[in-house]
Amino acid sequence: MSDQENVPPAAPAAPTAPTAPAAPSGPPSAPRPRSSGPGGGGDRGDRGDRGGRPPRDDRGGGAPGGGPGGPGGRKGKRQFFRKRKVCRFCVDKVDFIDYKKAEMLHQFVQDRGKILPRRMTGTCSRHQRWLCEAIKRARNIALLPFASEL
Amino acid sequence: MEERLYDLIFILRPATPEEEIAKLTHTLEQVISEHHGKIEKQENWGTKRLAYRVSKHREGIFIYLSLKSTDGEMVKELERRLKVAEPVIKYQTIRLDEEMKLQKKLVARREKKIARRPRRQAPPAAAAPAPAGEQPSATPAT
């Protein structure tokens, strides 16, 4: 479990960096609150500033924290809200994911070659299915690694 | 059998001379024409780095073919030839016509949707520019 938490924050930052500005902000914002990275620290600091009722705050934050961007009861009390991730392929209205575009597929693969899960990239289920297929085809013809040696 | 669309990619050893590539593609073309296939597209991607080692090579010459055929035996024969050919280190054939069909369907559906949408938006949109258009035309006239 700790392994999984360690990998994602690093992985999405690399693949999303060269893309359009709208999409990258989605993936990295999700892992940060969970990990003990800079984002988590900032959240805690914010809470301290408004800490009129810290115990209540924790309760309020705990419940909707599970769901991404859940409205919750009190919007003002939510210190961060996860930016809703949108499927990049739906935005671009992609009907076919080309396995030959290795550069593009590279964004949806971790450094070691694993396919990034939907929760990291925000891809919708249909496009994830297509993407998965395309990545596997690209792997077969040596455009993408099965597992990159490091 | 209806016509099918295939993508064929094969990788050659990086040291393969040009004539040999030409010879190989020529034989493939012959096989394709024998089976009444058509070459839609032919691309030489040049020497590319392989994502992993293939028969001790880290680079390879990629050649891409897009084919159309009604004869499934063609693919069989092409793959057999590629398997036998000495400079070829990897090849892959993918049938794509079903996915293209789905893509066309989705595009058609979206276009239909777009075509339908303006009808709802048209009345207010048409009403708005009309008076705006009249005013500027009226002022220069006077």
Residue B118 lies in a domain: no
Residue B122 lies in a domain: no
What's the CATH number where B57 sits? 3.30.70.60
Question: Could you read off the pLDDT of B50-97 as tens digits, one per residue?
Answer: 888 888 888 899 999 999 988 888 888 889 989 998 889 999 999 998
- Report the predicted TM-score, pTM, of the whole model to 2 decimal places: 0.61
B contact residues 71-110, partner A, Cβ 8 Å cutoff:
90, 92, 94, 99-100, 102-103, 106-107, 110
Residue A62 has pLDDT above 50, yes or no: no
Q: Of the candidates A93, A96, A143, which has its C-beta nearest B51's C-beta?
A: A143
| Mean pLDDT of all residues in A34-61 | 39
Q: Can you give the length of chain A in residues?
A: 150
Residue B14 lies in a domain: yes
Residue B93 lies in a domain: yes
- For chain B, how many structural domains are there in total? 1
**B66 lies in which domain range?**
4-99
A144 token code pair: 């993408």
Residue B31 lies in a domain: yes
Q: Of the candidates A96, A99, A145, which has its C-beta nearest B103's C-beta?
A: A96
Residue B127 lies in a domain: no
Residue B62 lies in a domain: yes
User: In chain A, pLDDT over 70 holds for what percent of residues?
Assistant: 44
User: Which residues, including other chains, have CB under 8 Å from residue A88's CB and lie 6 or more apart?
Assistant: A19, A20, A23, A121, A122, A123
Cβ of residue B15 closer than 8 Å to a chain A Cβ: no
| Mean pLDDT of all residues in B114-142 | 53
ipTM score for this prediction: 0.73
Chain B nearest CA to A125, separation (Å): 16
Mean pLDDT, rounded, of chain B: 82
Closest CA to A104 of A62, A143, A146: A143
CA dist B5 and B1 (Å) reads 12
Question: Could you read off the pLDDT of A88-124 as tens digits, one per residue?
Answer: 888 888 888 888 888 888 889 888 889 999 888 888 9
Name which of A72-76, A86-90, B1-5, B61-65 the model is least confident about.
A72-76
Residue A130 has pLDDT above 60, yes or no: yes
Residue A54 confidence class, pLDDT cut points 50, 70, 90 = very low
User: Which residues, including other chains, have CB under 8 Å from residue B37's CB and lie 6 or more apart?
Assistant: B67, B68, B69, B71, B74
The answer to whether A80 and A33 have CB atoms below 8 angstroms apart is yes
Mutate to test the interface with B, among A89, A95, A103 (most CBs of B within 10 A): A95
Residue B9 has pLDDT above 50, yes or no: yes
